[in-house]
């Protein structure tokens, strides 16, 4: 049997010690996400969590030297889960809104896209820019939206005369559109385009009406939510967002999912 020389053993001990210190220095952070909002976050056919949000979170964790673990949580319980300390941050396309800022703190945005309606290609009602006129045009029409979202709030406040139907997930709303149970669906335009219109199920549907991006309802883009007062975590994530934007990592992830800059203005 061959034996290692003392010099080799000493060098190995130094390397092992350095790696142990580095591992000990890594902060463990649990990331909450929905897993039902393609292409931003979803479970693939192998049961693995995928999507733009997920890749961004992984890049941020690597940049910040965090050891991250993902926790899948239904959307309507995602903020309560954060407050209950099931996870430390939410990376789930959550819009930064005044209402949510009363409960949680946010990082800077990591993307920003508008909301839109979709309907069948045979839908023949014009939806004007003026919201009161648009509400009148759509009065009584069944409209699907995901529960506890900025889009539900926007519709309730601006389209009170539509027949609003709320769903636990975006996929459920889209399915009822396909089956003719609702005439329109409203959600984030990119989620609708990439997650539905560009799929076989969405072949007979299209965007209708204008885009909506009002800060009062739609916020200032999608950010990462953390518990109130956890400024060190929030600032570490802000620095990581700036770093991956500067070093090209963000752009590579963007190009994996989109043929345009999802970061927005």
Cβ(55)–Cβ(253) below 8 Å: yes
Cβ(213)–Cβ(188) below 8 Å: no
Q: How far apart are CA 34 and CA 54, in angstroms?
A: 10
Q: Reduce the DSSP state of residue 77 to 3 states and report it.
A: helix
Nearest to 115 by CA among 89, 88, 95: 95
Higher pLDDT, 95 or 6: 95
* Per-residue pLDDT reduced to its tens digit, 51-85: 999 999 999 999 999 999 999 999 999 999 999 99
Residue boundaries of the structural domains of the chain:
26-112+220-257, 115-218
pLDDT over 60 (residue 24): no
pLDDT attached to residue 67: 98
* Strand extents, DSSP E, the chain: 27-33, 36-37, 41-43, 49-50, 66-72, 89-95, 104-106, 115-120, 142-146, 163-167, 184-188, 205-212, 222-227
pLDDT over 50 (residue 12): no
* Per-residue pLDDT reduced to its tens digit, 84-94: 999 999 999 99
Task: Report the sign of the C-alpha dihedral through residues 237, 241, 247, 249, in that order.
Answer: positive
pLDDT attached to residue 25: 74
- Which class does domain 115-218 fall in? alpha beta
pLDDT over 80 (residue 173): yes
Q: Average pLDDT in the 226-240 region?
A: 98
Residue 260's pLDDT band, with cuts at 50, 70 and 90, is very high
Q: Average pLDDT in the 144-155 region?
A: 98
Residues 26-112+220-257, CATH architecture = 3-Layer(aba) Sandwich (3.40)
């Amino acid at each position: 049997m061959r034996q290692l020389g003392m010099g080799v053993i000493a060098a190995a001990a130094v390397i092992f010690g350095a790696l142990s210190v580095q591992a000990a220095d890594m902060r463990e952070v649990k990331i909450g996400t929905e897993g039902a909002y393609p292409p931003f976050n979803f479970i693939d056919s192998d049961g693995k969590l995928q999507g733009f949000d997920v890749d961004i979170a992984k890049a941020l964790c690597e940049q910040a030297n965090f050891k991250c673990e993902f926790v899948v949580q239904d959307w309507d319980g995602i903020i309560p889960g954060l407050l209950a300390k099931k996870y430390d941050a939410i990376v789930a396309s959550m819009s930064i809104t005044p209402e949510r800022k009363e409960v949680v703190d946010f990082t800077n945005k990591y993307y920003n896209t508008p909301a839109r309606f979709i309907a069948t290609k045979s839908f023949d009602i014009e939806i004007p820019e003026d919201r009161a006129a648009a509400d009148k045009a759509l009065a009584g029409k069944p409209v699907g939206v995901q529960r506890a979202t900025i889009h539900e709030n926007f519709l309730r406040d601006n389209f009170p005369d539509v027949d609003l139907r709320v769903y636990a997930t975006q996929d459920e709303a889209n399915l009822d559109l396909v089956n003719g149970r609702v005439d329109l669906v409203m959600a984030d335009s990119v989620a609708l385009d990439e997650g539905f219109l560009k799929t076989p199920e969405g072949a007979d549907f299209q965007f209708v009406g204008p885009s909506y991006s009002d800060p009062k309802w739609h916020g200032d883009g999608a950010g990462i939510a953390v518990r109130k007062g956890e400024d060190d975590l929030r600032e570490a994530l802000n620095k990581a967002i700036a770093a991956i934007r500067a070093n090209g990592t963000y752009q590579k992830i963007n190009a994996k999912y989109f043929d345009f800059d999802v970061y927005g203005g």
